Structure 1
Amino acid sequence: MIRYKDLSIRKKLVYLYGTLVILLVGLNFIFFHIAINSYKENMIASTKLVNDQVINNLEAFFSNLSKTTNIPYYDYNRNNTIAKKYNGISSNQLDKVNELDYSDTYDFFNKLFSIYNYLESIYMYQFDDGVVFREGYNYYKDSRYMLEEEEWYDKVITANGEEVFIGIHENEQLYPEGAPVVSVARLLKKTYTNDHVGIIVINMYPDKLDQIVKQVNTAFNLHHMIIDENNRVIYSDNENLIGEAVDHNLVNKGYSSVNYEKVNYQGEDSILIYGESKYTGWQVVSVIAEDELFKDINSVLLLILWVDVILVAIGMLSALLIAQSFYSPIKTLDTSMRLVEEGDFKAFVENDSQDEIGHLSQTFNHMIQQVESLIEQRTNEAEEKRVAELNALQSQINPHFMYNTLNVIKWMAKMQGAENITQSLDQFIHLLNFCAKTKVEFITIGEEIRFIESYVGLLRLRYYNRFDIIVDIDEKIYDYYMIKFLLQPFVENAIFHGLTGSNNNYYLKIIADLMEDAIVFKVIDNGIGIDEYTVEDIMKGEHKQKSMNAIGIRNVLDRIKLHHGDNYGVKIESILGEGTAITIRIPIIKNVVDEE
């Protein structure tokens, strides 16, 4: 997991500014969300007031209509007419009585129709003689009609004189077919005795309820429904719903204190406001689409969202620009530092600003100039030292060695009849010619091996062949190039230091193999070995023992590093009493131009 402190400066600044912007926008959204919820509750409460006003208008309307049904109880003429026993009147008088009663009753009905122009019909039923007084827009009465078969008949009787509101139903008395009506009915009683003498029913068309709803002014497109006791629609602004059974989701809500809920109405997310008229027992439901109710706040919400988006975009863009203004010069400086780390001391930083980063860039440029100058100076000194040490190494084959060699040759000639004199002199002459090439740095591997063979051949003469020399070189690499005098210090140490014991079966192996990306030399002996502390000192160039050519070995290490880098070098492995193995790894150089 990436730690925050490990992030780039640009990312830190972007995250910081981004977090602040998101925090501010988040707080704005929270406050706005609270305000929206409050607004929505107020809008719903306002809609609830509209629904309550419709209920109040409904109750006032039917209260007036209900009072009309009570007139026959208090009107002496109406009460006598409905309570009259027509069976006790002689046939000669019955026609006259009927004419008077019907005429008087129709006058009464006509007055009611003139007052309540929304009525469909009025009926007064007499229990004893079955006489019916009626008035309406369709005079024809179905002779098959039976009052006692009406669904609402028992309710009216049970109400015992109280008004009964009857939801939408067919007016079965009409002929040839009925019509849907809404009614108010009441049981009629004889004045003073309260005997049950008949029933009055006032019918009205459901569409006349439209004026009750439209009396309530609203700025919203509310859909109102009035639902009767049988869950059928008495009124709706959608005429196709009148008389239909209502969706169960819109009724029987229990009418809690909340009085609204969210529903899907006709494929739209809507708010349903419901209430009940305690007077009529009917339900009033108002439905409005959420998009309609909250259209104003939705527009504001959309505007706020766009403002938030723009603010976030501006904030993030500002964060990126500010971060980039810091990051760009720092990144340039970091890139230059990495190039310098890889050895490119020309990677100057171009920054002319006078702020802290500008001063840092100028200081960096001055520093790499000084470092480049110091490295150049150190390189020149190292080259001079290398040439001096190379000359010193070549001069190690000193006159004393030459004297001893010549002395051996002399005694060989004297004692052995001069059989090996020519061979020994050839080796010596080759060695002297090789050492004379002081200006040549790279030679072929074949030349280095022939020099070592001559050098070892002369040493075997000196030590009376106490050791064997084994040379195993891959013939493919003879024409490849290597640094001059690379093997001699290790061969010298193996013979002068490693093969000094009493063992007469010493050997010295020189092996060279061509690897995939390098040439590997190995100088192996079975001499007395070297302890690990001495090996460490030799590798550091700190060993002081005269019998060890530590300077020559250190010179080889430095020359390999100088010419070939850290990927190549020398490894010394040794076990006391068993011998030493030197591994030298150099690059594959097929032409001296590759190195130059």
Structure 2
Amino acid sequence: MLLSYNAFTIFVVVAIFAPLVGAISLLVVLAFEKQIDGLTFEKQQVQMEKELQESEYMQLNQQIQPHFLFNTMNLMLGLARLDRKETLVQVMEALSHYLKFKYQVKEPLIPLEKEWAYTQSYIQIQKIRFQNRLDVNLDIDPEVQSALLPPYLIQTLVENSFKHGLEKKPGELLLELKADLFKENVRITVSDNGLGIGKLTKNDIFQKGHGLPNIKRRLELLYDESSIDITPKVSGGTIITILLPKITEDHEEV
């Protein structure tokens, strides 16, 4: 049976274009699979980067400065030599609370109220160390007590004030801590009347030491928007101010 001209034409067209259509379809499928593989790889990279950041963040959280521990041990030795047992017990209790918190807290964020209580253990030791020379003013707004923040943040700021500002200053020492709500952000301010920052710039300070660079890096890992500001006081000393989003227990910004 002979094919008609029209049927033969259709057969030829199909014979020519069918492989082409198949080849195009195969290319589309391969391209789609490649895109899926690319998206999967990209997702894996994002997840890996996130895990690395979380690991880095937790390592930063667990950093402990030996400076304070050495000073506290020397204080305890001095009290023991002077047979001031009651005061020695107070220092040991405060240090025990300090270390217990330091090594038990694993959460990336904790309530400000908890961090505040932990910081006071540190301050209690410093009060015993400097006795009547040290005056501490604490002011926490009830509006921010339940706000979440990185652990050891306030304590690190206070430790920085002592290490770089107050320890080597003769005479009366003043430390002021304040936490309040500022334009829907949590504002933490630590002020001292220590030796000040001299001619150092903000960048100079972040390139030296461990405390403030540690805080800066943790804030960068946690928040899209946060700030840490360092300014000298006219009367002598330093003011450090941190702004970070107010986050509730359900980790939602308010």
Given that 1:498 and 1:528 are in contact with CA atoms closer than 8 Å, whether structure 2 keeps it comes out as yes
Corresponding residue for 1:471? 138
Task: Give per-residue Cα distances to partners, 1:30-85, cap 9 Å, x unaligned.
Answer: xxxxxxxxxxxxxxxxxxxxxxxxxxxxxxxxxxxxxxxxxxxxxxxxxxxxxxxx
Corresponding residue for 1:404? 74
Corresponding residue for 1:378? 49
Corresponding residue for 2:220? 561
Given that 1:408 and 1:462 are in contact with CA atoms closer than 8 Å, whether structure 2 keeps it comes out as no
Corresponding residue for 2:94? 427
User: How far apart are 1:471 and its partner, in Å?
Assistant: 0.6
The 2-side partners of 1:444 and 1:533 are apart by 33
Corresponding residue for 2:246? 588
Over the matched positions of the two proteins, sequence identity in percent amounts to 24
Q: Indicate whether 1:459 and 2:159 are aligned.
A: no
Q: Indicate whether 1:509 and 2:176 are aligned.
A: yes
**SS state at 2:202 partner:** helix
The residue identity in structure 2 corresponding to 1:525 is D
User: How far apart are 1:532 and its partner, in Å?
Assistant: 5.3
Corresponding residue for 1:278? none
The 2-side partners of 1:402 and 1:500 are apart by 13
TM, length-normalised to structure 2: 0.73
Q: Indicate whether 1:437 and 2:104 are aligned.
A: yes
TM, length-normalised to structure 1: 0.34
The residue identity in structure 2 corresponding to 1:433 is K
The 2-side partners of 1:495 and 1:398 are apart by 9
Note the residue ranges of structure 1 that are not aligned, 5 or more in a row: 1-351, 544-549
The residue identity in structure 2 corresponding to 1:573 is T
The 1-side partners of 2:169 and 2:185 are apart by 37
Task: Give per-residue Cα distances to partners, 1:219-262, cap 9 Å, x unaligned.
Answer: xxxxxxxxxxxxxxxxxxxxxxxxxxxxxxxxxxxxxxxxxxxx
Corresponding residue for 1:481? 148
Task: Name the one with the larger helix percent.
Answer: 2
**SS state at 1:436 partner:** helix
Task: Give per-residue Cα distances to partners, 1:3-35, cap 9 Å, x unaligned.
Answer: xxxxxxxxxxxxxxxxxxxxxxxxxxxxxxxxx
**SS state at 2:210 partner:** helix
Cα RMSD of the aligned pairs, angstroms, is 3.3
Rg larger in structure: 1
User: How far apart are 1:367 and its partner, in Å?
Assistant: 7.4
**SS state at 1:594 partner:** coil
The residue identity in structure 2 corresponding to 1:404 is N
**SS state at 1:555 partner:** helix
The 2-side partners of 1:380 and 1:398 are apart by 31
Given that 1:522 and 1:584 are in contact with CA atoms closer than 8 Å, whether structure 2 keeps it comes out as yes
Given that 1:408 and 1:461 are in contact with CA atoms closer than 8 Å, whether structure 2 keeps it comes out as no
Aligned length: 225
User: How far apart are 1:513 and its partner, in Å?
Assistant: 0.9
The residue identity in structure 2 corresponding to 1:386 is Y
Given that 1:481 and 1:592 are in contact with CA atoms closer than 8 Å, whether structure 2 keeps it comes out as no
Mark the CA change 1:449 to 1:438 in structure 2 (over 3 Å): closer, same or farther: closer
Task: Give per-residue Cα distances to partners, 1:532-574, cap 9 Å, x unaligned.
Answer: 54421333xx22xxxxxx3232222222222221x22211112
The 2-side partners of 1:408 and 1:442 are apart by 37
